[in-house]
Amino acid sequence: MLDFFTIFSKGGLVLWCFQGVSDSCTGPVNALIRSVLLQERGGNNSFTHEALTLKYKLDNQFELVFVVGFQKILTLTYVDKLIDDVHRLFRDKYRTEIQQQSALSLLNGTFDFQNDFLRLLREAEESSKIRAPTTMKKFEDSEKAKKPVRSMIETRGEKPKEKAKNSKKKGAKKEGSDGPLAASKAPAAEKSGLPVGPENGELSKEELIRRKREEFIQKHGRGMDKSSKSMKSDAPKEKGKKAPRVWELGGCANKEVLDYSAPTTNGTPEAALSEDINLIRGTGPGGQLQDLDCSSSEDEGATPNSTKPRAPKGTLGGMFGMLKGLVGSKSLSREDMESVLDKMRDHLIAKNVAADIAVQLCESVANKLEGKVMGTFSTVTSTVKQALQESLVQILQPQRRVDMLRDIMDAQRRQRPYVVTFCGVNGVGKSTNLAKISFWLLENGFSVLIAACDTFRAGAVEQLRTHTRRLSALHPPEKHGGRTMVQLFEKGYGKDAAGIAMEAIACARNQGFDVVLVDTAGRMQDNAPLMTALAKLITVNTPDLVLFVGEALVGNEAVDQLVKFNRALADHSMAQTPRLIDGIVLTKFDTIDDKVGAAISMTYITSKPIVFVGTGQTYCDLRSLNAKAVVAALMKA
């Protein structure tokens, strides 16, 4: 049973609607438009909204959308056939009204389609019932029944045909080389008293091998014994020769010398820094995030070479090359776009886009362009490439935009700290990029409290303490009227991370800090106990922003990480509406040149924005995502 079936134009005019139940179809259809059609995610013609499953079909020639909705617990096999039949009949019946291409004509048009739809629905339901059940395959129809019984009987001692052929080939190759060996087998067999022949089978071969091994040991046994004795005697000498390495600047390796951390407690300022502040800070304005620049050195080197004169082509060949692939005012079909889409898919995968997402993107472009009428001098390649670029830009500009500075100022008016939690897998750069974001916030005049909730990794607290000392040197209290701008809150190792985060938030509220940055331990997406602990930390402390830190080097792994992180946060959360990832921090972007596909993969999977991009090792190496620059680098050959 269908809940609804509606037909509307891409401009938003509802042409006809069928209501199978009393509930309105406005909410599910609006969710489909926001989440799929506007976000260029039309690779799959199915969409799930709450308890409903929506299937849709796009008519790009007449700019129409056909949507059917039914309960997702039902398995309706006739829905695809129904939507195709309705699309075909509605387009043919009201072709003249739709071709006028004016909103007024569509509003004034009468689309009496109720009886036709009910007839098509009845036919589709009956066709699904009439379909005969599949019968099991009989033994007489199988390939095994066609073989004779004699071919399936194997006698003992005989080899199968394939093995016999292989043994014949090997025997033919070794005939010339195994002459003396074959001659020596006969006397060995005579000495052992065993007859040589096929009736003896594999026993004679094993006996011969054993006899040859004994003869070999008798001849060379003395030499082997001597060598083994010499090896045993040399072994302790080599161990005795090895001496511990002495470093030039090495000293006494005791605990006092190796302990570089000063005894500090929460709330006390860090010691002064003896390093060069300019090297730590980096170059560039720290308070303003610059747009990401994806141009590589290869592009700059290729610019002067592009001005070189090319070899002149023939007039006839150049004319045919220019006219090749012109569509000429006809509607595009799947066959026209198939070869171009295959090349585009391979190009996206080569640029580090996940394979499944590359397939879905190309499928979405095909659905968007199928049936669309092209201009006279438009090529299929240029049309598909332009549509793919528009889809990629739309994907990198998701529904919700994260503006941290605005949200922090709003939290200041409410007299509470703004809490950000960082999560991700091991080794992606959570602590380093947390320090970069801290520096960016300090440059904008906000005080920061860093909560060291990574109580598992050795050296995690010391790493944050070093960053805090450097940030304090860049923004000392003297420059801010005696106010401590950055401080570390830590309780050591082996403690509960959720409890430390709660105490840090309470400390920030009491001491008047503007922002709390919570650093968590790196964990793999398959580690259930650690994912449960992360879900507990987020549920108990309810941070304002949950940022997933991922590196730009991953390909298909990005999809697995984000899907399982969101699923684990949803499964292990105790809240009725679980808190999921709000944004992404993309790190190590300076190591990938133009292979920027991880940005597409992460944004496509989560529909969440990339808030920050890490591009280096200094505090100023933090950028905001420029969607057009990323797409240009992605589409570059």
- Distance (Å, whole) CA 20 – CA 80: 18
Yes or no: say if 339 and 381 are a contact pair by the CB < 8 Å rule.
no
Q: What is the CA radius of gyration of the chain?
A: 36
Q: Which amino acid is at 390?
A: E
Enumerate the H helices of 444-496 as residue ranges.
Answer: 460-474
- Distance (Å, whole) CA 579 – CA 474: 35
The string of pLDDT tens digits covering residues 13-59 is 888 888 888 777 888 888 888 888 877 776 678 888 888 899 988 88
Sign of CA dihedral 242, 247, 250, 251: positive
Q: Which amino acid is at 118?
A: L
| Strand, helix or coil for residue 6 | strand
Topology adopted by domain 404-628 = Rossmann fold (3.40.50)
Q: Which amino acid is at 162?
A: E
pLDDT at 397: 81
pLDDT at 246: 61
Quick one: tokens of 308? 């070189």
For residue 325, give the DSSP letter: T
Lowest pLDDT segment from 434-443, 495-504, 620-629: 620-629
Span 593-622, mean pLDDT? 88
pLDDT at 241: 53
Strand arrangement of the beta sheet that strand 486-489 belongs to: 290-291, 622-624, 610-614, 583-587, 545-551, 418-423, 515-519, 448-452, 486-489
Apex 61 CA angle, 57 and 64, nearest 5:
45
Enumerate the H helices of 131-201 as residue ranges.
Answer: 143-146, 161-173, 179-192
**How does strand 418-423 pair with strand 515-519?**
parallel
195-209, 321-335, 491-505 — which one is most confidently predicted on average?
A: 491-505
- Does pLDDT of 611 surpass 50? yes
- Distance (Å, whole) CA 490 – CA 495: 10
Enumerate the H helices of 324-476 as residue ranges.
Answer: 334-350, 355-369, 380-395, 404-413, 430-443, 460-474
- Distance (Å, whole) CA 83 – CA 66: 7
Torsion of CA 90, 96, 98, 100, to 10 degrees: 180
| Pick from 329, 323, 365, 327: nearest CA to 347 | 365
Confidence of residue 408 (pLDDT cuts 50, 70, 90): very high
- Which are the contacts of 386, defined by CB distance < 8 A and separation ≥ 6? none
pLDDT at 434: 95
Confidence of residue 573 (pLDDT cuts 50, 70, 90): confident
What b/e sequence results for 167-178 when a residue is b if at least 16 CB atoms lie within 10 Å of its CB, and e otherwise?
eeeeeeeeeeee
pLDDT at 383: 87
Confidence of residue 155 (pLDDT cuts 50, 70, 90): low
Yes or no: say if 584 and 548 are a contact pair by the CB < 8 Å rule.
yes
Average per-residue pLDDT in the chain? 77
- Does pLDDT of 513 surpass 90? yes
Quick one: tokens of 316? 């006839």
pLDDT at 105: 60
Place of tokens 């098509």: 120
| Pick from 536, 558, 568, 544: nearest CA to 606 | 558
pLDDT at 314: 44
The string of pLDDT tens digits covering residues 313-335 is 444 444 444 444 554 556 788 88
The two domains 4-129 and 404-628 share their CATH topology (first three levels equal): no
- Does pLDDT of 168 surpass 80? no
The string of pLDDT tens digits covering residues 176-191 is 444 444 444 444 444 4
Span 223-234, mean pLDDT? 49
Which residue ranges make up each domain of the chain?
A: 4-129, 331-396, 404-628
Yes or no: say if 47 and 35 are a contact pair by the CB < 8 Å rule.
yes
DSSP run (H or E) holding 586:
strand 583-587
Lowest pLDDT segment from 101-105, 400-404, 406-410, 559-563: 101-105
505 burial via Cβ count (<10 Å: 0-12, 13-18, 19+): buried
Within 10 angstroms of residue 92's Cβ, the number of other Cβ atoms is: 8
The string of pLDDT tens digits covering residues 246-303 is 655 554 445 454 444 444 446 554 554 555 666 666 666 666 777 777 665 444 444 3
Confidence of residue 198 (pLDDT cuts 50, 70, 90): very low
3-17, 231-245, 427-441 — which one is most confidently predicted on average?
A: 427-441
| Pick from 62, 70, 24, 17: nearest CA to 46 | 70
Topology adopted by domain 4-129 = Beta-Lactamase (3.30.450)
Quick one: tokens of 588? 């190590």
Yes or no: say if 55 and 31 are a contact pair by the CB < 8 Å rule.
no
